[in-house]
Amino acid sequence: MLAVANVARRGTGFGAPTPVEIDLAETVVDAFSSIEKVRLVTSGTEAVMTAIRIARAATGRSRIIKFNGCYHGHSDGLLVRAGSGAATFAVPDSAGVPTAISECTSVVEYNDLEGFAAALGADPPAAAVVIEPIAANMGVVPPQPSFLEGLIRHAHDAGALVIFDEVISGFRVARGGAQELYGLAADLTCLGKIIGGGLPVAAVGGRAELMDLLAPLGPVYQAGTLAGNPIACTAGRETIRLLGDDAYRALEERGAALESGLLDAIREAGKKACVQRVGSLLTVFFGIESARDFLEASAADTESFGRFFRAMIDEGINLPPSQYEAWFLSLAHGEADIEAIVEAARRSLRSLDS
């Protein structure tokens, strides 16, 4: 907070790059081996929107492919839901989205490599696939072994680019996000949330030849008056400086401890539920044994989750209010906090029978 206060005294925005903006950009490039250049924006929505615009310019194609249950912001082409088949065009999921725009998007099921290959084979050819490498907007749904590797291979064979939306996973599951965790490289990467340290800044980055398509070097327009402002960039830089190897070891240990404690509590209560976790991200799904995609996640018992959520509120534990939102552990959560959450869950699970 002191660093943010100090930079705010010198000005909140200058309409030109500042040293701290360059510092943050260099930090991002250093963390992600797939990123050679980066453009700062103000939100994850903008980051994904810009990545798609770059991909369309690079390939000369318009259609994109996304996965059912993955959220990539509120731009028109991504506020869509699945059509009647794995490779069909999507239909609008929000008022105000023209059908003509939604028809540029195909939606398939997460972890379904065969369905994705079918979507790639449809006409017109796809410019890009955009995916959460660790799905966290249908609850936490990890990628199945070899799914992401196969996705990248199929996309490149079809001449399409791969966009990883790491707004949630970036700097959270590892310093280099899911790409470091799984040893992968996307063509374009979208980041947000953590790189702002609580203030609004996000980024899109990738190979130099793709990023050079952005104006003023290239023909792809992007602009934002407050993008890369010194206050948000300072908060992000100072936050990322705290995220060394020790931090990620601690987050993994605390995540594992919470997962183990919750599973014990579920077994003791005799409930049908599962815990799905990657690092410090996790979700408790009620009524199912696992979820590999949105269809399986949507079969969860939301009524039981709602009762559990209200019981946990009464215990002083504020969970995300939806069955389909991820729980986020942070470095502020110590061992005593984990134990308190588990004990509250144990009592809350028992109360579901009353």
Q: Would you please indicate which residues are annotated as catalytic (active-site) residues?
A: 71, 165, 193
3-state secondary structure of 40: strand
Partners of 231 in beta bridges: none
Q: Are 139 and 155 in contact (CB under 8 A)?
A: no
> Distance (Å, rounded) from C-alpha 354 to C-alpha 347?
11
HSE value, Cβ hemisphere, 13 Å, CA-based, for 285: 24
- In terms of DSSP bridges, do strands 105-108 and 202-206 run parallel, antiparallel, or are they unpaired? unpaired
Give the tokens for residue 310. Answer: 């209200």
188 and 204 in contact (C-beta within 8 Å)? Answer: yes
234 alpha carbon, distance to own chain's centre? 22
Task: Give residue 184's region: left, alpha or beta (phi > 0; psi -120 to 50).
Answer: beta
Q: Which residues pair with 81 in a beta bridge?
A: 91
H-helix segments, 81-195: 99-102, 113-121, 147-157, 177-182
DSSP state of 274: E
83 secondary structure, DSSP code:
-
Would you state the structure tokens that stand for residue 273, as one six-digit string? 């539920």
Quote the tokens at residue 349: 């699970």
Kindly state the tokens that stand for 95: 């008022």
Helix/strand/coil for 170: strand
Q: What are the helix (H) ranges across the chain?
A: 2-9, 19-31, 44-59, 99-102, 113-121, 147-157, 177-182, 208-211, 230-241, 245-269, 294-297, 302-314, 335-351
Could you tell me which residues are beta bridge partners of residue 66? 107
